[in-house]
Structure 1
Amino acid sequence: MKYIIPIVALLMTVAVGCQSAANEAGELPESLEEKRALLKEKRSSLSRLTQEVEELEKAVAKQDPNMVAKNRKLVTTAPVERTDFMHFVEIQASVAADDYLNVTSEVAGRILNLTVEEGDNVRKGQLIAELDLEQLDKQMAELEKSLELTNTVFERQKRLWDQNIGSEIQYLEAKNSKERMEKTMETLEFQMTKSKVYAPASGVVEDVYLQSGELASPGMPIVQLLNPNRLKAVADVPESYLRAVKQGERVKIAFPALDEEQMATVTLIGRTIDPSNRTFDVEARIVASSRLIKPNLLATMYIKDKEAKDVVTIPLEMVQQEVGGKDYVYILEDGKAGTFARKVYVKTGDAYDGRIVINSGLEGGETLIMQGARGLANNEPVEVKQEG
């Protein structure tokens, strides 16, 4: 029993030594607790080494300024400015047409000639189709014969009535039959003028429903016209942005497939929330700057949801982060031995389009180190690279 304790102690010593040797060889421990302990130890060592490096740099700078000047790192700088910051949310949208128009015939007839094709531009009053109204022609011929007889009967009945022969009712019936036939003739003559179908408005032929030789009926569309100047961008916006969207405000619409964008005005905000996806409709009027902007084209709607006046903003890539999670930047300072980089801890805010808001740490007017900031140390001597 007296040998057990020394043996256990010896085994523990050997295990600790093996673990240290494994860590020195770059091998990671297997358990999570051991990894956490090792990470904590390494962070502590890194912080201590960084502090020692900074102290050594200061000591070298005091004793040998010439040597420090030779080893200055070249950097570029830019002034820190206070500007207005705007944040936009990107919503997928699509192009829709607000002005579709069906061109129809007012009478039934077979299409003799269709003068347009899909994609053609037409102007208001342009001939679209010609119809064969053979049935109306036959009705017209039949009616003309009937009208001749009716006129003959009326004239004879009128002569008898003028001689006080016959009854008044016979005269009135003949007169009424004649006038009714004349009105029917006027109707047929008017329908005959509808053998040609004209465009009721200017636009582009979007669809062709009937071809030459097919039968057109009253109200049945022959072609569909689209007004390319009446397009809109439609987006389903999440309900969390209800306060961000206002009717009449300007939004940016981008068309990724065309590498094109334009500003548009919000014309409609949906009054209901879609329960299936918790979104509401937003429409913005757009301009068809080219024939490539077509209905159902994918677009992106940029809606401004945040805005800040007179704040400090810097390029997003200039913000660096320590192992502990603190954000910092380097600014240029003047010292007795020349310019050097000073590390400044910052608190960041919203970011958009490559720029980020600095809530604290910078006030504006400082000189921010840009190119060359990565890999710098606090109080490291630097030299500003001259442009050109």
Structure 2
Amino acid sequence: MKKLIYIPALLLLAACSNKPKDKKAELADLQKQQSEINNKIAKLQAEIGTPDVVTEVNVAEVKTGPFVNYVQIQGKIDAQDNVTAYSIVPGTITNIYVRVGEHVTKGQLLVQLDNSVVRQNIAQAEAKANLSQQLYQRQKALWDQKIGTEVQFLQAQTTLQADKKALSAAREQANQFRIVAPISGSIDQMDLKLGQAVQPGQPGNGIRIVNADILKVKADVPESYAGSVRTGNNVKIVIPDAQDSLTTKVTFAAKAIDPTSRSFAVEIKLPARKNLRPNMTAILKIADYAKTSTITVPVKALQHSEDGDYVYINANGVAKRTVVKAGSTYGGQTEILSGLKAGDQLITNGVEDIEDGDKIKVAATAN
């Protein structure tokens, strides 16, 4: 009975000891097969070669053309003639001859001040001058007849001249009691009233006259552009509120730099336009650098590295890295000073995915 129980136990132990041995053999067999497959793959790859990775890109032909760099600043429209007329002497207003909005001409009488005292002085000076005139004529008639002395004639002549000058001075003084238009234009502001006492140059005591037919744009340009922005530069002016624009030239560029703002003033005369008014905002684009023929590339095509700037060009289906020297940039275009020539096939899109020597496929070519 003991012998029958023992034998199956031995058989069971033998079966358990053989099982791991079969798995090891199976693993070794698989590893051998894997090695043989890898060798076959390597052999086939060596025979047919590794397939090239081709990147799809866009290409544009390099051409020469004009390039302009602009300085963009904000300015405002001002009248060429924008003045405030004041009285020369203090006085009381007796007459006002104009109204706000009315057009006046240079020298026109606008306001009269009380000059009654001066008029009395004029009347006295006129009477004295008339008397001196009569005495002079009589003395001259006598002198012509060789009657009297030369001294008497000269005294009469001198007295007449002095009285005439006194009369002229009195009349000139009377003119100071008036406010006249120094320029032709429209009355833009006036707060004067009859009976009001006015003082020369005091705020609220004058009449502002604006000649809106002659306008200009005024702006301040940063000091950094002092070497490139000057009188005669082309400028594009945009007036947003008037929905208007024009191209003209810088009329005036100041030589001195303002020590506070570190800028210098520029002015541009504007043609007569009814839709433009003083103090309107104007956007100025001043051309500070221009070339009639140069090479430019899109900003996105230009790459940067520690060694400098570069681009990729299409060299018979292969990306060729080309070092360039970049200049000014404006409007999404960068001027290329050296490194490219007309006719080169510049890669414009897909430059981030390629390296020097990569094979490429041209998806689109821009003229």
TM norm structure 2: 0.54
**Residue aligning to 1:254:** 237
Q: 1:231 aligns with which of 174, 198, 216?
A: 216
**Residue aligning to 1:363:** 341
Contact 1:251 1:266 in 2 (8 A): no
Q: CA deviation at 1:94?
A: 4.7
Q: CA deviation at 1:224?
A: 2.2
**Residue aligning to 1:113:** 96
Q: Determine the C-alpha separation between the residues in 1 that align with 2:299 and 2:365.
A: 22
**Residue aligning to 1:56:** 51
**Residue aligning to 1:286:** 269
**Residue aligning to 1:215:** 197
Contact 1:121 1:203 in 2 (8 A): yes
Q: CA deviation at 1:355?
A: 0.7
Unaligned 5+ residue runs, structure 2?
1-49, 139-157
Q: Determine the C-alpha separation between the residues in 1 that align with 2:290 and 2:93.
A: 63
Percent identical: 18
Contact 1:82 1:312 in 2 (8 A): yes
What's the C-alpha RMSD, in Å, of the aligned pairs?
5.2
Q: 1:269 aligns with which of 248, 254, 258?
A: 254
Amino acid at match of 1:349: A
Q: CA deviation at 1:307?
A: 5.2
Q: Determine the C-alpha separation between the residues in 2 that align with 1:315 and 1:272.
A: 35
Q: Determine the C-alpha separation between the residues in 2 that align with 1:111 and 1:80.
A: 77
Secondary structure at 2:300's aligned position in 1?
helix
Bigger Rg over Cα: 2
Q: CA deviation at 1:263?
A: 2.5
Q: CA deviation at 1:365?
A: 1.0
Q: Determine the C-alpha separation between the residues in 2 that align with 1:361 and 1:181.
A: 87
Q: Determine the C-alpha separation between the residues in 2 that align with 1:386 and 1:101.
A: 57
Contact 1:313 1:356 in 2 (8 A): yes
Determine if the alignment matches structure 1 residue 123 to structure 2 residue 100: no
Map 1:304-323 onto structure 2 (within 5 A). 304=288, 306=289, 310-319=293-302
Q: Determine the C-alpha separation between the residues in 1 that align with 2:309 and 2:206.
A: 69
1:309 and 1:232, CA in 2 relative to 1: closer, same or farther beyond 3 A? closer
Map 1:44-193 onto structure 2 (within 5 A). 56-57=51-52, 78-95=60-77, 99-105=81-87, 108-117=91-100, 120-131=102-113, 139=120
1:103 and 1:231, CA in 2 relative to 1: closer, same or farther beyond 3 A? same
Contact 1:266 1:282 in 2 (8 A): no
TM norm structure 1: 0.52
Q: For each residue in 1:256-295, what CA deviation from the matched residue of structure 2 results, as whole angstroms up to 9, or x when unmatched? A: 6446353333534334562x45x35243332155453524
Q: Determine the C-alpha separation between the residues in 2 that align with 1:83 and 1:178.
A: 80
Q: Determine the C-alpha separation between the residues in 2 that align with 1:57 and 1:129.
A: 93
**Residue aligning to 2:286:** 302
Q: Determine the C-alpha separation between the residues in 2 that align with 1:264 and 1:307.
A: 14
Q: CA deviation at 1:364?
A: 1.5
1:343 and 1:99, CA in 2 relative to 1: closer, same or farther beyond 3 A? same
**Residue aligning to 2:326:** 349
Amino acid at match of 1:101: V
**Residue aligning to 1:14:** none
Q: CA deviation at 1:110?
A: 1.5
